[in-house]
Amino acid sequence: MQKLLIKGGGALNGELRISGSKNAALPILAATLLADGPVVVRNLPHLQDVTTMIELLGCMGVTLTIDEKLGVEVDSRSTSRYEAPYELVKTMRASILVLGPLLARFGTARVSFPGGCAIGSRPVDLHLRALEAMGATIEVLEGYIYAHADGRLRGAHIVMETVTVGGTENAMMAAVLAKGRTVIENAAREPEVVDLANCLVAMGANISGHGTGTITVEGVERLQGGEYTVMSDRIEAGTYLVAAAATRGSIRLRDVNAHDLDSVLAKLEQAGAVIGSGDDWISLDMEGRQPRAVNIRTAPFPGFPTDMQAQFTAMNAVAQGTGTVTETVFENRLIQVHEMNRMGANIVLEGATAIITGRDRLQGAPVMASDLRASASLVIAGLVADGETQVDRIYHIDRGYECIEEKLQSLGANIRRLPD
Ligand SMILES: CC(=O)N[C@H]1[C@@H](OP(=O)(O)OP(=O)(O)OC[C@H]2O[C@@H](n3ccc(=O)[nH]c3=O)[C@H](O)[C@@H]2O)O[C@H](CO)[C@@H](O)[C@@H]1O
Ligand SMILES: C=C(OP(=O)(O)O)C(=O)O
């Protein structure tokens, strides 16, 4: 298995371009199943998860034309299989996002049950309930979700019991071709949900209220093809900002929207960073100072993103004072703590809260990645550790960070990939 070898020490300094967002690209690719014509998707990040989604569409008979410069053209008029097999779903839970589009467009879908993963049990009951409210019949048999609709789905009034990003996306995608109006209450307000809605609107959908807790969809008979540019990855951006802060460096990010990162930037300012931002850039300067520890509590957008808490755990581990990180979205997402303690961090776990007392530096050690963001946090820990850190199982990182070692090298980090 490939590993990342990091020799910690220096501050990160320099400028980076932020890639397209994984969590927007995946539902947008799934949404191309709804269009009655080719859709060109631009700014797709080069990530394992995006490759998996493209492979999944390919398995269904969708025609894909990949042009490195122009993006990917997806034509779902050739779709001939309406299923997502276990072999692909097990490597990427977001495969569940094809369920709503398949059902709405073709009236049938067979999608492997995604199951849990390292960070929690992650049920999809709310996705299924929303589709049932729109008239779908759903059965779970031998690990697969079988969904069927007699004719068009019907608009419905859906109140989400919990804020769910994927559940909101599946319901919204199903609703665009349903007969009548769908109202989704307690909808997720994440920027990626808004990006998906904007893409659907560009294809002819009638959606309003995206970005608020109530999304209204007036169903239309068909969506046409078109072109869409995926938003930039706020979590990738946040990760590099935290890495720069933890190493006491200075960084400027291009092609990024600062408003998507308000809660993260506020915490970085509390930690002592000087933040600047413009239309499509963010800068952070620690001016060589040790960060101050901050308290984090994760929550759905506009709250502090769960996908950024592990990185802040790493920063707190080398900060002045004691900070807490409380995870409220997933039940088991503080896995990074055990590996960081092996690197000399002082972190005590109390239920869903990590209490982190900062040290001046950590010590390099061999560590194991357990999920995507925990892996990123171990890379940050490696950058602020004396000696060598080897991060194993980095296939997790490759799901969500484009060219992570090249990007970090361009900021002055001593990091390289060790082959299998
Ligand atoms: C591909 C993608 O976009 N992934 C993101 C998406 O995941 P994902 O869409 O899977 O996360 P959700 O927002 O659905 O999950 C939030 C919470 O709701 C629970 N839940 C969800 C659905 C459901 O039917 N029943 C239920 O109980 C989950 O177990 C979790 O505790 O949002 C998460 C929360 O911001 C992020 O961490 C992930 O990076
Ligand atoms: C948890 C994440 O992704 P996924 O929902 O695809 O597992 C993530 O991006 O941090």
* pLDDT tens digit sequence for 100-154: 999 999 999 999 999 778 899 899 999 999 999 999 999 999 999 999 999 999 9
Please report the pLDDT score of residue 398 as a whole number.
Answer: 93
Query: From the annotation, which residues make up the binding site for UDP-N-acetyl-alpha-D-glucosamine?
Result: 93, 122-126, 307, 329
Which pTM does this prediction carry? 0.98
Q: Is residue 34 exposed (0-12), middle (13-18) or buried (19+ Cβ within 10 Å)?
A: buried
Angle (deg, nearest 10), helices 125-133 and 99-106:
20
Q: Which ligand is nearest to the CA of 187?
A: 1
Please report the pLDDT score of residue 1 as a whole number.
Answer: 87
- Å from CA of 372 to ligand 2 middle: 7
Top mutation candidate among 96, 127, 165 for ligand 1, by most atoms within 8 Å of CB = 165
pLDDT in tens, 357-377: 999 999 999 999 999 999 999
Is 403 noted as a catalytic residue in this protein?
no
- Å from CA of 22 to ligand 1 middle: 14
Top mutation candidate among 311, 399, 404 for ligand 2, by most atoms within 8 Å of CB = 399
Please report the pLDDT score of residue 270 as a whole number.
Answer: 98
Please identify every stretch of the chain with a pLDDT value under 70, giving residue numbers as ranges: none
Please report the pLDDT score of residue 43 as a whole number.
Answer: 97
Q: What is the largest CA-CA distance in the chain?
A: 64
Name the β-bridge partners of 292: 320
Query: From the annotation, which residues make up the binding site for phosphoenolpyruvate?
Result: 22-23
* CA-307 nearest atom, ligand 2: 10
Please report the pLDDT score of residue 252 as a whole number.
Answer: 98
Residue 224 half-sphere exposure, CB side, CA atoms within 13 Å? 4
Please report the pLDDT score of residue 420 as a whole number.
Answer: 84
Angle (deg, nearest 10), helices 165-175 and 22-31:
20
Please report the pLDDT score of residue 116 as a whole number.
Answer: 75
Please report the pLDDT score of residue 33 as a whole number.
Answer: 98
Please report the pLDDT score of residue 70 as a whole number.
Answer: 83
Helix (H, G, I), strand (E, B) or coil at 305: coil
Please report the pLDDT score of residue 60 as a whole number.
Answer: 98
